[in-house]
Amino acid sequence: MADEDLATRAPESDAAEQSTIPGDSKVDQGSASLGEHCTTDRPTPSGAKPTGELTKFDDIDVYITKPADYPHSPSKLLLLLTGGTGVHSTNNQLQADKWATEGFLVVMPDQFAGDPAPTTNTSTSTTSPTLIEQVKLGFATVAKSFTIDMWLARHTPETVLPRLHRVLSAMREEFADAVANGGGVYAAGYCFGARYVLLLGSNVDEETARGDRASESTAEEGMAKHGAAIKVGAIAHGTLISAQDFAKVEVPVGIVAVENDSLFPDDVREKGVKSLRERSVEVVEEVYKGVPHGFAVLGDYEEAAIVEKQGQAFAQMVGWLKGH
C-alpha cells in the first residue's frame, strides 16, 4: 500500500506496508499518529457547563443529553463519537449538548473503556530553546509518539467496534421512539471517531466488522454480512482513515476537512469520495482553509476566523444530518 493511502503515518516512522481491509486489526498502528488536537482539549468556553448526564449502557460509560422539549416533541437519535479525549472531556460533553439544542437525542459512548489518549506536553520553553532543550524536546517527542502508538495499539476496530455495537443495541432499545422518528440512528464523528462512523456505515462481513481479516474462500462460502449500523453519517477531520475505509460505506456521508491536513490528506479523502460517487453513495465535502486539524471540536480560539469556521462546520454537519 502506498504512503498516500493511509492518513496517519507518523513523520518519524519508516512504516512497513499496511493492510487496507476495513477494520483490519493488522494495520500497523505503530506507524500511526494523532495530532495535538486529537488528544488535548482547547480551553473550555468561559462559564459553560455540561447539561447532560453520565450513565452506563451495557456496562459502558455514555454521556446522554436531550433536547429541552423531549419527549414531548419527537427527536432523532444521534451517536456522537469523539476524538482521543473521550467521553469525560468537558468540551466533548458541551459539544454533545450543542447537538441536543439542534433537536438530536445524543448518546456519546466511551470508545476507550476508561483509557483516553495520553496527553504528554513536549514544550520546554516559551522562547527559542537552547541546544539542551532541543535535545530534551526531541526525546520528549519520541517518547510521546511511542506512548500514543501504544495507546492506538490498544484501541483498534476489534476492540472499539464491539463496544459501539453494544451501545447501539442499548440505544435502540432505550430510545426506540427516536429511532422510529428518524428512521434509524444518525452518527457524527470527530478525529478518531470519524473512522468509526465510516465503519459503522459499511456493509462488511462479520469478521471484518470485528477487525479480523476474512479470507477470500470464507467470503466465497457466503459469510454472514454485517450491514450498516447507522442511517447517515457526518465526519470532521478524521484520523486513522485509509481510502479503503470508504470502500464498503453504503450510507450518505458528509465530510468536514482541513486543507493540507497531514492526518487526513487530500488524496486519501479524494480517493474515498471518488469511491462513494462511483457507487452512487451520496456524499458532500467541504474543505476549510486556514484552520488546524481538530478545529471543528468545541473549544475557544483567539483567532476570529477559526471561531467563525468552527461554527460553519457545525452548521454544515447539522444541516447534513437534518436533511436525511
**Can you tell me the distance from the alpha carbon of 202 to that of 209, in angstroms, rounded to the nearest whole number?**
9
Q: Name the grid cell of 149.
A: 502508538
Count of structural domains within the chain: 1
CB-CB neighbours of 167 under 10 Å:
22
pLDDT tens profile 32-75: 466 676 777 888 888 889 999 999 999 999 999 999 999 999 99
136 pLDDT higher than 80 = no
CATH of the domain at 63: 3.40.50.1820
How deeply is 235 buried, as exposed, middle or buried, from its count of CB atoms within 10 A (0-12, 13-18, 19+)?
Answer: buried
Residue 227's pLDDT is 85
Backbone Cα Rg of the chain: 19
132 pLDDT band, cuts 50/70/90, is: low
pLDDT tens profile 198-233: 999 998 654 555 545 443 333 333 334 568 999 999
Domain of residue 209 covers: 3-215+223-322
**Mean pLDDT, rounded, for 77-98:** 96
SS3 94: helix
The Cα-based distances of 8 to 5, 16, 32, 242, 273 in angstroms read 9, 13, 5, 8, 18
Give Cβ neighbours of residue 275 (< 8 Å, ≥ 6 apart). Answer: 243, 246, 247
**Mean pLDDT, rounded, for 80-93:** 96
Lowest mean pLDDT among 11-20, 116-125, 234-243, 250-259: 11-20
SS3 139: helix
